[in-house]
Structure 1
Amino acid sequence: MAGHRIFSMAFAKVYPAYVAKAEKKGRTQAEVDEIIRWQTGYSQAQLDAQIAAGVDFETFFAEAPAMNPARELITGVVCGVRVEAVEDPLMREIRYLDKLVDELAKGKTMGKILRG
């Protein structure tokens, strides 16, 4: 999937959709931010700065301070594709995030979502 169009899409354009999906199911923006920080190692200030800067997905993940090794425990299907089977590393990171937000919207506890 090299060169997939989502790679060059601004993270800030998709972030509101993540938040809206969570809020529609009674969850919060703070929980979405916690998931993103857990996966990427960004602080809240760094996350806010990345969103404000309008960086694309490729830059967002490339500049992540400390990708959480436990993210590799994320399994399941997003958009009909098994996240653990996605070959492209960047697409896999995006799918991991999609799966975490899905789990939040489905009512899983934060402990389970964050593989605690």
Structure 2
Amino acid sequence: MPHATRHRIFGMAFAKVYPLYVQKAERKNRTKDEVDQVIRWLTGYSQAQLERQIGKGADFETFFAEAPAMHPNTSLIKGVVCGVRVEEVEDPLMRKIRYLDKLVDELAKGKAMEKVLRR
């Protein structure tokens, strides 16, 4: 189904943005492993599947389309990221991207992993 307004990020390689997530976390004394854990929690990817997606240069659209299972608690991810309230993002793909942004933000802000993962 074509998007009415296709956001540029949809076609952007996840592998291009992934290192930025890791850098953001590492600047705040968090680890790549923690970033991976957050991504696996959100998407249902195993570590090997996540690394395959990065290795093949999947764009965001493909990355989320091929995600084994979005976590049932994603609806608990609320708040503002990039000036946008994530729970109000209408486009389903953009909402998933914002969820990921928000989780990495929370990680970088030093939130406990149990809180980031909505346990």
Q: TM-score range by the shorter chain?
A: over 0.9
Structure 2 unaligned segments of length 5 or more: list them.
none
Partner of 1:65: 68
Partner of 2:27: 24
SS at match of 1:31: helix
Partner of 1:5: 8
CA apart distance, 1:69? 1.0
CA apart distance, 1:71? 1.0
The superposition leaves residues 37-70 of structure 1 with CA deviations (integer Å, 9 ceiling, x where unpaired) of: 0000000000000000000000000000011010
Task: Report the Cα distance in structure 2 between the residues aligned to 1:2 and 1:48, rounded to whole angstroms.
Answer: 30
What is the TM-score when the length of structure 2 is the normalising length?
Answer: 0.96
Task: Report the Cα distance in structure 2 between the residues aligned to 1:72 and 1:61, rounded to whole angstroms.
Answer: 16
Task: Report the Cα distance in structure 2 between the residues aligned to 1:67 and 1:107, rounded to whole angstroms.
Answer: 24
Task: Report the Cα distance in structure 2 between the residues aligned to 1:72 and 1:46, rounded to whole angstroms.
Answer: 24
Task: Report the Cα distance in structure 1 between the residues aligned to 2:34 and 2:16, rounded to whole angstroms.
Answer: 18
Size of the aligned set, in residue pairs, is: 116
What is the TM-score when the length of structure 1 is the normalising length?
Answer: 0.98
- 2:118 is equivalent to residue 115 of structure 1: yes
- 2:92 is equivalent to residue 79 of structure 1: no
- 2:32 is equivalent to residue 36 of structure 1: no
Structure 1 residue ranges, 4+ long, deviating more than 3 angstroms after superposition: none
CA apart distance, 1:2? 3.3
CA contact 1:2–1:88 (8 Å) conserved in 2: no
Task: Report the Cα distance in structure 2 between the residues aligned to 1:47 and 1:103, rounded to whole angstroms.
Answer: 21
SS at match of 2:69: coil
Task: Report the Cα distance in structure 2 between the residues aligned to 1:35 and 1:68, rounded to whole angstroms.
Answer: 11
Task: Report the Cα distance in structure 2 between the residues aligned to 1:2 and 1:45, rounded to whole angstroms.
Answer: 33
Please give the root-mean-square deviation of Cα atoms over the aligned residues, in Å.
0.8
Task: Report the Cα distance in structure 1 between the residues aligned to 2:64 and 2:111, rounded to whole angstroms.
Answer: 25
